[in-house]
Amino acid sequence: MNEQKSIGVFDSGFDGLSILKEIIGDDVRIISEGAIVAKKLEDYLVRHVDLASRLSLQSHCIFYTTDTSDRFQKLGSQFFGKQIVPVHISLLVQKQLLL
C-alpha cells in the first residue's frame, strides 16, 4: 500500500518565515516560536517591573558579514522584511587583532 502522508504543522527553527512560506505554500500551518517567545517575554516583564525598568528601549542592529555585502544586504533585507545595511569584515583582520 502506497499511502502519501502530509505535514499539518511545522515548527520553524528560524525567523525566515516569509521565505519558507513561499517554498511550502499554504497547505502547512507554520508555528513561529519567535512570536510565542516574544509574548512570553512580554508577560514576564509585566510581572517583573523591576527588571523591565532597567532595560533600554532604544536599540539598533548592526549586521556584520564575511560574505559580499551586496549579496548579504539583498538576502538579509528579504529575511528581515526591511532594508539592512551590512558591514563587511575580514576574519583574517580579526585573527591578526587577537594575536
Contact present, 88 and 65 (Cβ < 8 Å): yes
Q: What is the mean pLDDT of residues 4-8?
A: 55
Q: Where are the domains of the chain?
A: 1-56, 60-99
17 band by pLDDT with thresholds 50, 70 and 90: low
Share of the chain above pLDDT 90, in %: 6
Strands 63-65 vs 86-88: parallel, antiparallel or unpaired? parallel
Among candidate residues 51, 60, 11, the one with its CA nearest the CA of residue 35: 11
Q: What is the pLDDT of residue 6?
A: 56
Distances (CA, A) of 56 to 5, 48, 60, 82: 48, 15, 11, 22
- Better pLDDT: 67 or 15: 67
Contact present, 19 and 79 (Cβ < 8 Å): yes
Q: How does pLDDT run across 34-80, given as a tens digit for each residue?
A: 778 888 988 998 999 888 888 877 777 888 888 777 888 888 888 88
Residue 98: pLDDT above 80? no
What single-letter DSSP state applies at residue 27?
A: S
Q: What is the pLDDT of residue 95?
A: 53
